[in-house]
Amino acid sequence: MSVEADRNPESSPQQAARDERVREISPVRKALIRPELGAICGTILVFVFFLAVARDSGMFSADGALNWTVVSAQFAVLAVGACLLMIAGEFDLSVGSMIGFSGIVIAITSVTWGWPVWAGILTAFALALALGWLNGYLVIRTGLPSFIVTLAFLYILRGLTIFASIATTRKTIIGGVREAAEGDWLAPLFGGKILNGLFVTLADWGWIGKLRNGNPVVDGIPMLVVWALVLIVAGHLLLTRTRFGNWIFASGGDAQAARYVGVPVNRVKIAMFMLTAFCATVFATCQVIEFGSAAADRGLLKEFEAIISVVIGGALLTGGYGSVIGAALGALIFGVVQQGLFFAGVESSLFRVFLGVILLMAVILNTYIRRMITGER
Partner 1 sequence: MTTPLIELRDIEKHFGSVIALAGVSLSVLPGECHCLLGDNGAGKSTFIKTMSGVHMPTHGEILVEGRKTVFDSPRDAMEAGIATVYQDLAMIPLMSVTRNFWMGREPQKRVGPFKFIDFDKANSVTMEEMAKMGIHLREPAQAVGTLSGGERQTVAISRAVYFGAKVLILDEPTSALGVRQTSNVLATIAKVREKGIGVVFITHNVRHAMAVGDRFTVLNRGKTLGTALRGEITAEELQDMMAGGRELADLAEVLGGTV
- Report the interface residues with partner 1, using CB under 8 A: 1-5, 7-11, 14, 17-19, 22, 25, 237, 241-243, 245-247, 249-250, 253-254, 256-258, 260-263, 316, 320-321, 370, 373-376
Give least dist CB 9 to partner 1, A: 7
CA-nearest of 346, 329, 326 to 59 is 346
Considering the complex, state which of residue 201 and residue 242 has its C-beta at the smaller distance from partner 1: 242
Q: Which is nearer to partner 1, 280 or 324 (CB)?
A: 324
Cα separation, 124 vs 192, whole angstroms: 19
Minimum distance, C-beta of residue 243 to partner 1, in the bound complex (Å): 4
Q: Which spans in the chain are helix H?
A: 2-5, 27-32, 37-53, 62-87, 95-107, 117-142, 146-169, 177-181, 188-191, 196-204, 223-241, 243-253, 255-260, 265-291, 302-312, 324-343, 350-374
User: What letter does residue 210 receive in the DSSP assignment?
Assistant: B
Taking the complex as a whole, the smallest distance from the CB of residue 54 to partner 1 amounts, in Å, to: 39
Of the pair 9, 143, the CB lying nearest partner 1 is at 9
Could you report how far apart the first and last alpha carbons of the chain are, in Å? 22
CB of 306 to partner 1, least distance (A): 22
CB of 366 to partner 1, least distance (A): 12
CB of 319 to partner 1, least distance (A): 9
CA distance 202 to 311: 37
74 within 8 A of 335, measured Cβ to Cβ: yes
Closer to partner 1 at the Cβ: 238 or 344? 238
> What is residue 292's three-state secondary structure?
coil
Those residues whose C-beta lies under 8 Å from the C-beta of residue 123, and which sit 6 or more positions away, are 105, 106, 109, 115
Least Å from the CB of residue 160 to partner 1: 38
Q: What is the CA radius of gyration of the chain?
A: 22
Shortest separation between residue 316's beta carbon and partner 1, angstroms: 8
C-alpha to C-alpha distance for 358 and 311, rounded to whole angstroms: 10
Q: How near is the Cβ of 352 to partner 1 at its closest, in Å?
A: 32
Of 34 and 302, CB closest to partner 1? 34
Q: In terms of CB distance, is 16 or 52 closer to partner 1? A: 16
Contacts of 45 (CB under 8 A, 6+ apart): none
**Residue 240 burial (CB < 10 Å; 0-12/13-18/19+)?**
middle
Nearer to partner 1, 215 or 367 (CB): 367
User: Residue 15 or 213: which CB sits closer to partner 1?
Assistant: 15
Residues 6+ apart with CB under 8 A from 264: 247
By beta-carbon proximity to partner 1, the closer residue of 4 and 347 is 4
